[in-house]
Amino acid sequence: MSNFHKNILTESSYILLDIDGVILDQNFDNLFWMEWVPEAVASSHDISLNVAKEDIYKTSKELYGTLPWYELKFWEDKYKVDLLAVAERNKSYAMFIDGAEESLKLMTSLDKKIFFLTNCDSRLLKIKSSQVPLLDYADGWISSVDIGVVKEDQDFWKIALEKLNIQPSKSIFFDDNINIVNSAARYGIKKAVHVTEPTNNNSIIYESNARMQISRLADLISAD
């Protein structure tokens, strides 16, 4: 279902968007967790980069998709490194996905509420948003780390939607994580859309069997 049109938005009163991989280039997070954090851990513990990478990868695999995996504090406590300093040093890598800002501009021109729903730790989001003015386009946003339950979990939707006063039956939601797209659909979000190209350099392209899918938000403004 690639021939999407912005008409997909017209029946919805609420536009809900994931941030990383949908609005911002996922490459920042990939480099953060796979390169910069291991480098910081290696230098502070005086171990090789490969050993640091293996250790982080092992923990990461065990915790994938759970709250600690997304929480900076968990990793800071485990490795005793200043992750905000790591992010701050590299914040120039935070950028919009091509076409995302134009798509957000189009969305704000429609008579709808726009909310960002993210698993990104709000401490990290603060650094990204100091570099990229994405929050200007939202009526509000919620980080799962702040409410203590991740988007993969049904409780997230109950808490977040009540907090922001969002009706799921009048909502469209975009995320690049298929588990989260499915979680949203299960909760009753009317249209849950899988975004399959989360990076500008196309280092990741997801195969998807989701009922609704687009490559990027830019599809909403480029299709006829």
Site residues, Mg ion (CB under 5 A): 18, 20-21, 176
Q: By C-beta, is 21 or 38 nearer to Mg ion?
A: 21
Q: How far is Cα 115 from Cα 137, in angstroms, rounded to an integer?
A: 9
Q: By C-beta, is 131 or 167 nearer to Mg ion?
A: 131
Q: By C-beta, is 79 or 103 nearer to Mg ion?
A: 103
Say how many residues make up the chain.
224
For residue 43, the minimal CB distance to Mg ion (Å) is: 29
For residue 29, the minimal CB distance to Mg ion (Å) is: 8
Residues whose CB falls within 8 Å of the CB of residue 26, separated by 6 or more in sequence, listed in order: 20, 176, 198, 199, 204
Q: How many CB atoms lie within 10 A of CB 72?
A: 19
For residue 3, the minimal CB distance to Mg ion (Å) is: 24
Let me know: does 70 contact 146? Beta carbons within 8 Å: no
For residue 176, the minimal CB distance to Mg ion (Å) is: 4
For residue 131, the minimal CB distance to Mg ion (Å) is: 17
Residue 193, SS3? strand
**Helix or strand run (H / E) with residue 214:** strand 213-214
Q: Which residue is nearest to Mg ion (CB)?
A: 21
Q: By C-beta, is 83 or 117 nearer to Mg ion?
A: 117
Let me know: does 30 contact 202? Beta carbons within 8 Å: no
Q: By C-beta, is 74 or 206 nearer to Mg ion?
A: 206
